[in-house]
Structure 1
Amino acid sequence: MKKSVLFAFALLLAALGIISCGKDGNGDTPGPDAAVDRKALLTQWADSLVKPGYQRFNDKLAVLKAKTTAFTAAPTPATLVDARQAWQAAYVEWQKVELFEFGPAEQVSLRNHFNIYPADAAGINRNITAGTYDFELATAIPQQGFPALDYLLNGVAAGDAAIAQQYASSANHRRYLTDVVAKMDQTFGTVYSQWNGSYRDTFVGNTGTDASSSLSRVINAYSLYFERYLRAGKVGIPAGTMTGTPRPEKIEAYYLKGALPLQLATTAHATVQQFFNGRPGRPSLKSYLDALGAKDSRTNQPLTGIINAQFGVSAQQLSSLGPDLYATMTARNADAVASYNEMQKAVRLIKVDMTSALGITVTYVDNDGD
């Protein structure tokens, strides 16, 4: 009995010794990323990606506002072409910042105000006829932003002369176009000013990994964007992968068609990969994961190499859908489905393996039915 008590006491001391050795000087058990400087990573994102990206987009938005103002002041085929070109340039630039749906952008639902498609053409026409509308209503989400401008600049009539004449003869059309751009300018201006104000320091200083941390919000926004808005929105839904029926009318920039829809998709895909890799020698998701020694759960190979390889395959398959994405969805739908499938392979790597390696909990729900 005495020996049993002594033996149990010895085991207790040993256990306490092990626990003590496993803690740092502050009594906190270091996580797997203790050697990684998260503040440096957040600083890089804020100062080299988000703020400069927003500045470039703000410049394009200012041109769009100027050109649509000129068009509504004097509606002609020439001023229409100028407004349309400014819309295209801003729309491409938007693809480079849309994934930043965290912080101020998330608070104002920036994506809902800018790029939920297809546009509700019937609702837009009702608004124009009524002359009254509220862009903050949930029903108004597809009646504003870039998709609404697609309809307003390309779809209200057949041909540039007829579109210009529609605006020349209708004050309500001119007002609606003006109000859509003004709402975009106002909503984005709120986000842009906060990043150039105090929010930048708030973002950089929030260095934890819990659900409210900057890292968690960025990773969730990144994963959600790739899965739902790039993979599904730009390719899967119009290809009919969820329903079995192709719906090419659900592509981005449906009313203009041509080369722009694919350009928007490939720009968005390139942005996702560039965000992952960052710049050589600077903090990035890739460098963070490499420092953690992150492995692919299926092959046990370095995770960043597997992710980049899959990005390369999916980018190539996406590019093959050109030159006209609408025509491809109609005539070569199997190729569009194949593009979706290649991006789906990257979803598992990002949403499961990457978040696990980073110690981040996925907080959004995949509701696209796949």
Structure 2
Amino acid sequence: MHPITRLLCASALVTCSTVVVANAADTGARTHWHQAIQSGYESLATDAAELATVATGYCNEPTPESRERLQSAWLDAFLAWQRVRYVNFGPVENSNLSWQFQFWPDPKNLVARKASYLLGTDEPVTDEVIEQSGVAVQGFPMVEYLLFDEQLNGSENALPATRNCEVLTAVTRHMSSNSRTLADNWTAFKPHYLETAQYRDATIKAGMTALEILEERRLAQPMGLRGNGKRNPYITDAWRSGNSLMGVEATIVGLQQQFLPGLVTLLEAGGNLALAERIRHQFASVTENFPQAHVPVTNLLGDDSQFRLLQNLYVDVSQLTTLVNDEAAVALGVVRGFNSSDGD
């Protein structure tokens, strides 16, 4: 065989081998992602169903103990949502499900305004009324308002007032139904997801967008690092309950458990072993060095010595965002859309 012919054959074999490895990595990554997201959605469905059950139990027998169980059930379901919140494609796009679970950002305090209207009318609170009342009253922020809003809970209309309980149980039923539908639809979505190559990039972009939102909207803006430079806890996404940072932590953990393994598979298949290890290490750094997750962000923003904990967290998240959204994206040939952090 002529030397040039041998060289061409060898080059073709290398190319074919590279394509095979890349395709196998792509399939492996998407297989993991689908399974991991399925598990996350199932956890959300389980916790949302428990929240609906506990809400009914509290309204039937309101005691300090049942109120504590209700608040705990809300937090469990809320954190389950935070762990899968990064998924912004597929069944969660149907009927604005993402917004139904969490209407945020809410700069005009629409949740409180819509809640006040709903609580102040005499119309019977049916499942249809909740479905027709808009996303501001259909999810976690609405239940958080009923449970934790200081002004509401300082009034005679506070839970367990009959009207409030009617709204509470209807909203939690709505959330439970939506979460079960989402989990079932994700199961049915599996063949299409695994057979469609574009979902490789769609999943990576979903993780990238989640990190951008974490860095810019859930940390930088409340810290006063963007905009007018003033610290503002009231633009965080769970300020009434004081669980904003627990939500941030849950999102990081969700990305670490569900998104990271597939990303590492793709990077390592492309020979980017060092980058994969740096990203893995940075995820660990964010979770291990997380500030006191049970402290309301208001406390940290109001105390300069405590504020340093938030600054350290912000730096950790910012470094992670750079590794994933810049270095990994370039290594994997993923092109980010313009201003992809707009929307949630």
User: Normalising TM by the smaller chain, what interval?
Assistant: 0.7 to 0.9
Say what the alpha-carbon RMSD is for the aligned residues: 3.5
1:273 to 256, 262, 276: 256
2:291 to 297, 300, 319: 319
- Point out the structure with the larger helix share: 2
State how far apart, in whole Å, the 1-side matches of 2:191 and 2:283 are.
32
Is residue 269 of structure 2 the alignment partner of residue 291 of structure 1?
yes
1:125 positional shift: 0.9
Aligned residue in 1 for 2:126: none
Answer yes or no: is the 8 Å Cα contact 2:239–2:296 preserved in 1: no
Q: Please list, as runs of the form range in 1=range in 2, the aligned pairs for 1:32-71 lying within 5 A after superposition.
A: 34=22, 36-47=24-35, 49-71=36-58
SS of match in other structure, 2:272? coil
1:149 to 143, 161, 173: 143
Distance 1:104 1:276, change over 3 A: closer
Letter aligned with residue 158 of structure 2: Q
Aligned residue in 2 for 1:240: 224
Aligned residue in 1 for 2:302: 330
Is residue 170 of structure 2 the alignment partner of residue 179 of structure 1?
yes
SS of match in other structure, 1:253? coil
Answer yes or no: is the 8 Å Cα contact 1:42–1:215 preserved in 2: yes
Letter aligned with residue 358 of structure 1: L
State how far apart, in whole Å, the 2-side matches of 1:237 and 1:135 are.
32
Aligned residue in 2 for 1:97: 84
Distance 1:181 1:322, change over 3 A: closer
Answer yes or no: is the 8 Å Cα contact 1:68–1:83 preserved in 2: yes
State how far apart, in whole Å, the 2-side matches of 1:251 and 1:289 are.
33
Distance 1:131 1:313, change over 3 A: farther
Q: Please list, as runs of the form range in 1=range in 2, the aligned pairs for 1:68-79 lying within 5 A after superposition.
A: 68-79=55-66
Is residue 316 of structure 2 the alignment partner of residue 342 of structure 1?
yes
1:100 positional shift: 2.5
State how far apart, in whole Å, the 2-side matches of 1:32 and 1:344 are.
34
Letter aligned with residue 324 of structure 2: I
Aligned residue in 2 for 1:203: 193
State how far apart, in whole Å, the 2-side matches of 1:136 and 1:227 are.
32
2:118 to 111, 124, 127: 127
State how far apart, in whole Å, the 2-side matches of 1:352 and 1:96 are.
23
Identity of aligned residues (%): 20
1:224 positional shift: 0.6
Provide the TM-score with structure 2 as the length reference. Answer: 0.81
Answer yes or no: is the 8 Å Cα contact 1:261–1:325 preserved in 2: yes
Distance 1:52 1:312, change over 3 A: closer
Distance 1:347 1:131, change over 3 A: farther
State how far apart, in whole Å, the 2-side matches of 1:167 and 1:307 are.
45
Distance 1:87 1:134, change over 3 A: closer
1:65 positional shift: 0.6
Which structure 2 residue ranges, 5 or more long, are not aligned?
Answer: 124-128
Which structure 1 residue ranges, 5 or more long, are not aligned?
Answer: 1-14, 279-283, 296-301
Number of residue pairs aligned between Structure 1 and Structure 2: 329
State how far apart, in whole Å, the 1-side matches of 2:323 and 2:224 are.
23
Q: Deviations over 1:21-61 (max 9, x none)?
A: 86679x999659636432222222222x1222222221111
Provide the TM-score with structure 1 as the length reference. Answer: 0.76
Letter aligned with residue 245 of structure 2: L
Letter aligned with residue 241 of structure 1: L
SS of match in other structure, 1:166? coil
State how far apart, in whole Å, the 2-side matches of 1:249 and 1:32 are.
51
Higher relative contact order (CA 8 A, sep 6+): 2
1:71 positional shift: 2.5
Letter aligned with residue 182 of structure 1: R
Aligned residue in 2 for 1:219: 204
1:106 positional shift: 2.7
